[in-house]
Structure 1
Amino acid sequence: MSKGIIRLSYRKVIDADSQNVWEKYVFEATYQEYLIQSQNYNPDKKYFTFAELKHHVPNADKLHFLVSASVINYLKQLNGYVPDILNNQGKAFLPFKNYRFEVIDSDVRYKSRHRITVEFISEPITWIDTVGNLLLVTFKETVPAGDDGILTEMFTMQPFLSIHSLKQEEVYDTAI
């Protein structure tokens, strides 16, 4: 018996201090796109930060969407797996299809103040149990009919990773 179907969300913050190569590329691409797109909301160059634009300029919140286009190709490089979330064997395992992009803040004068987040929303996962500090889960596509049982993954919850949604239902008997 499972605990339910869950979807996880992982919020990845990227800023000037990010060390990973992929993160550095995303940082550069989003900052350049922000500089280009923010000009449309600030033709007189009266405002320097994203916070000022949101406060003074109607529809400046659209910059989240406009800047998000610059990350699409970088997200494809992840091959459908949430970055940084590894199973207990050290392998990326958590598939995603949906994400949310947000400009946390930025400043046209200081690149070092540019900060964005990408929130990855996982595919549905069957949460079987919690073993110590590990979650034991399986994916619908890994439920074979056979004597070997179901294929599972185990992982630790970590900062910025949370259960996004829970649907309680008995999916199948998981007597192991």
Structure 2
Amino acid sequence: MPQGQVRFAFRIVINQHSRTAWEKYIWESTYQEFLMQSQLYNNKNEPLLTFKEILSKDENAEKLHFLVSMAAHPYILQWKGKIYHLADNLGNNFMPFNNYQMDIIDSSIKDIKAHEIGITFYTPLVSLIDIWDGHYLISLDEHLQNLSEGLSTMLFKLQPRLSVAFYKPS
């Protein structure tokens, strides 16, 4: 019997140490976008060098998260709604996402190596069946009325950067 419905959040941190080509494209694109957009919040006489400095001087600079995320959007669309960095116990990448949020962890207009972003992917509601030995047993099936016939399941290990963002008991 399902315990309830959950929405997972899975976060990817992208920085100079990221390895995949996809992450590197996002890192470079969002850095270039940060350089352009940060000009809106910077003073030529007293330039602020880092995202955190800009944010400390202008609370409206929170908009930079959204503005810079536009550079990552085309790359995220390439995933076609699947979180490819989150594999189940069999190594399959079927976990869907229907929303994401990008944030700037930090950056510098003088040093690309300081550029670091996070992208948090949110799944649709899925059925949480149980938690076994550090693993979530879930089902993507939407129709759980006739459980006597069984249902398709997936097993995901509890891991860093994977969290339950929403829970609704049965």
TM-score computed with the length of structure 1 as normaliser? 0.89
Q: Distance in 2 between matches of 1:148 and 1:166?
A: 25
- Alpha-carbon deviation of 1:71? 0.9
Partner of 1:115: 116
Structure 2 unaligned regions, length at least 5: none
Q: Distance in 2 between matches of 1:49 and 1:9?
A: 28
Partner of 1:172: none
- Alpha-carbon deviation of 1:139? 1.3
Count of aligned positions: 169
Partner of 1:74: 75
1:126 counterpart = 2:127: yes
Partner of 2:16: 16
Contact 2:15 2:117 in 1 (8 A): yes
Name the stretch that deviates more: 106-115 or 128-137.
128-137
Q: Distance in 1 between matches of 2:143 and 2:24?
A: 34
Contact 2:131 2:137 in 1 (8 A): yes
Partner of 1:64: 65
Map 1:19-58 onto structure 2 (within 5 A).
19-44=19-44, 46-58=47-59
For residues 74-128 of structure 1, the C-alpha deviation after alignment (integer angstroms, 9 at most, x for no partner) is 1111121123211111010211111111011100100000010001111111011
Structure 2 counterpart of 1:35, which letter? L
Sequence identity (%):
37
Matched residue of 2:90: which SS?
coil
Q: Distance in 2 between matches of 1:168 and 1:147?
A: 21
For residues 31-61 of structure 1, the C-alpha deviation after alignment (integer angstroms, 9 at most, x for no partner) is 0100111112114161111111111134111
Q: Distance in 1 between matches of 2:115 and 2:147?
A: 52
Structure 1 unaligned regions, length at least 5: 170-176
Contact 2:65 2:103 in 1 (8 A): yes
Name the stretch that deviates more: 47-56 or 140-149.
140-149
Contact 1:83 1:92 in 2 (8 A): yes
RMSD of aligned alpha carbons: 1.8
Partner of 1:174: none
- Alpha-carbon deviation of 1:130? 2.0
Evaluate the alpha carbon distance shift between residue 18 and residue 142 of structure 1 in structure 2; reply closer, same or farther with a 3 A threshold. Answer: farther
